[in-house]
Structure 1
């Protein structure tokens, strides 16, 4: 198990649980000492060992709380101090009693280094520590017997069991981290794909159409533009790359909107500035496009309003390019108690069933990314209603 890097978040609670166990086991050993020390071969020695155990409990708890100290020097010292306290029982406790199963001075406290080794290195390291401590226990009791085997067996089970749990926790943390990085990379890829669709892909498609119309050298230019468009579409719609491959790309949406932008506002605007969505939608007003909006400002965080307006722009572009000649569009902006809704309705040719899924598979991202992707990242919903020959209505809703 690799060590030396940042300790996974799920490993920290295991070390804290070890500290609690060590303190509780020390208390139990002290209670037994109070009850039994008069029967010891050398009673004062028992109090000395309890003092050593208490001091080491404090030192080890503070040391294990610092991830950089959880290495071999501390693990070895922990095992050595605990073994020494256990071996001291041979000269302090009544030797005859130890041979028939009488409690040693440390009692359950001897399992502390076994658990520490298991957390730090998994099942194998925990088993090794348990075997070493069991050897010390055998020396104290002059060998194993049915009466004295319980302690070593329980230590071995604890070392293997805790080591297995620790390894599962660390592996789960690693898998979760990889999943989070992959999701962030996928979201960033989708954001870049939207920008490419809104600019580069549409320009290449326009060059291809115009070149074919003009003919001659322009037709060759249009053909090349068409090839580049197909290649770029395949690139932005292919499987998401590993997170490391895009780690150096543009800042993710989370950093731009959720964690504060360069201007200080959590939405990337100056001081969390809010803008009137009506003004951004006015930019889409043109021949054949009618906009209806409330008389009062519809205020949204600057970044949210910009993404909303971009999604509306993509929907209007779809009307212009796909609804058919002479198609008209109507934009309706509504401010509702739970959010803001923009409806884009046209009287064009409509969308055949399955056409949107087919377009997404072909790398045409107008609806999939430029519209749905943007609104999804804002926590909103997109509803597309279309009947061939009767027009299309796209409803965008973003919650407050």
Structure 2
């Protein structure tokens, strides 16, 4: 992943800086009884620093063989330290030849495979460090170094994992945005050509009747199917549902569904309830206006709330009809629409004028 690049460059810089620090320590000849052997260890460290820097720069080589070799070389240099220190190993303040250089594989494991791998590598390096200083009376120093190694492995692994997850999410968001733009482009092209022709055939067929009417009906069905196809939306984040995808199912030759280009995200249960309420409203349209009655569904996001409007051009609802239906035990509107929204903290407004149709407005805080 591209996000790993800065991590590997930082580790390369750390290796070089730690190598310089180890050279300075050995050049002082403090605590090293066999400096010649120490310089041989430094040479191995220098060669591996150069090789590892080049190898880790290639993403295809960042695999277990390289990571294992990195850890093995570091342990070899670390375990050679007692022979370099010789009789001076017990001197106060003496450090192993790799000094801080030994933390490099811990960082590499953490960046590549996360917290657990980083912690495991830190434990292995810490065990080697403890063994190499078994003759020294520096228990507190060893404990501090071990804790620091373990913390570094865990923390760097955690940060690297978060960075990778952020990059994956950004990539998915970019792909979804590109797909949405492409869908919108196709929808525009289809709307300007195929859908308009199908709508014209549907309308003219209904006017002419007979075989032309059947042809118009088939054209209307194909128009509805095509509209639903081009309105398919990408999946919503876990735990939420894009209301547009649920409302699109109601689209047909007699029901027009309109929604914004941006997602209308609601908790899954709330989105299902809103869609069910819209379905109940459309059932009422068919029941009281006829199966071929036209209806329009409009979904939008306004002032922090999702609003869905269902409108028809039927005969309207006579004054007092809803109250009388509830009193007679017919709870279609009272329970299926108003009841659902009341449970979610939403509201339902019904406006109906005899002879001019009915409008049901469902509003739910987003």
Give the TM-score normalised by structure 2.
0.61
Alpha carbons of 1:98 and 1:231: their partners in 2 closer, same or farther (altered >3 Å)?
Answer: farther
Please state if 1:197 is matched with 2:199. Answer: no
Q: Aligned partners of 1:227 and 1:11: how far apart in 2?
A: 51
Query: Which residue, 204, 212, 235 being the options, matches 2:206?
Result: 212
Query: Which residue, 106, 109, 131 being the options, matches 1:117?
Result: 109
Alpha carbons of 1:63 and 1:219: their partners in 2 closer, same or farther (altered >3 Å)?
Answer: same
Query: Which residue, 118, 122, 129 being the options, matches 1:137?
Result: 129
Q: Matches of residues 238-317 of structure 1 in structure 2 within 5 Å?
A: 238-240=232-234
How many pairs are equivalent? 241
Please state if 1:188 is matched with 2:179. Answer: no
Query: Which residue, 80, 93, 102 being the options, matches 1:88?
Result: 80
Unaligned runs of at least 5 residues, structure 2 = 237-296, 302-307, 310-366
Alpha carbons of 1:357 and 1:64: their partners in 2 closer, same or farther (altered >3 Å)?
Answer: closer
Q: Aligned partners of 2:35 and 2:298: how far apart in 1?
A: 88
Q: Aligned partners of 1:95 and 1:167: how far apart in 2?
A: 44
The 8 Å contact of residues 99 and 142 in structure 1, kept in 2 or not, is answered as no
Q: Deviations over 1:107-135 (max 9, x none)?
A: 10000111111111111111111111111
The 8 Å contact of residues 119 and 162 in structure 1, kept in 2 or not, is answered as yes
Alpha carbons of 1:357 and 1:169: their partners in 2 closer, same or farther (altered >3 Å)?
Answer: closer
The 8 Å contact of residues 22 and 109 in structure 1, kept in 2 or not, is answered as yes
Which residue number corresponds to residue 223 of structure 1? 217
The 8 Å contact of residues 32 and 89 in structure 2, kept in 1 or not, is answered as no
Q: Deviations over 1:312-354 (max 9, x none)?
A: xxxxxxxxxxxxxxxxxxxxxxxxxxxxxxxxxxxxxxxxxx9
Superposed CA RMSD in Å reads 2.5
Alpha carbons of 1:142 and 1:241: their partners in 2 closer, same or farther (altered >3 Å)?
Answer: closer
Q: How far is the alpha carbon of 1:181 from its aligned partner?
A: 1.0
Query: Which residue, 11, 28, 34 being the options, matches 2:27?
Result: 34
Which residue number corresponds to residue 250 of structure 1? none
Q: Aligned partners of 2:170 and 2:298: how far apart in 1?
A: 36
Q: Aligned partners of 2:53 and 2:90: how far apart in 1?
A: 29
Q: Aligned partners of 1:356 and 1:132: how far apart in 2?
A: 59
Please state if 1:162 is matched with 2:136. Answer: no
Tell me the secondary structure at the aligned position of residue 213 of structure 1: helix
Which residue number corresponds to residue 147 of structure 1? 141
Q: Aligned partners of 1:168 and 1:141: how far apart in 2?
A: 36
4+ residue stretches of structure 1 with deviation over 4 A? 94-101, 354-358
Q: How far is the alpha carbon of 1:179 from its aligned partner?
A: 1.1
The 8 Å contact of residues 46 and 105 in structure 1, kept in 2 or not, is answered as yes
Q: Deviations over 1:197-239 (max 9, x none)?
A: 1111111111112112222111121122122222222222232
Which residue number corresponds to residue 13 of structure 1? 6
Q: Aligned partners of 1:234 and 1:38: how far apart in 2?
A: 79
The 8 Å contact of residues 115 and 154 in structure 2, kept in 1 or not, is answered as yes
The 8 Å contact of residues 105 and 121 in structure 2, kept in 1 or not, is answered as yes
Please state if 1:174 is matched with 2:168. Answer: yes
Alpha carbons of 1:201 and 1:72: their partners in 2 closer, same or farther (altered >3 Å)?
Answer: same
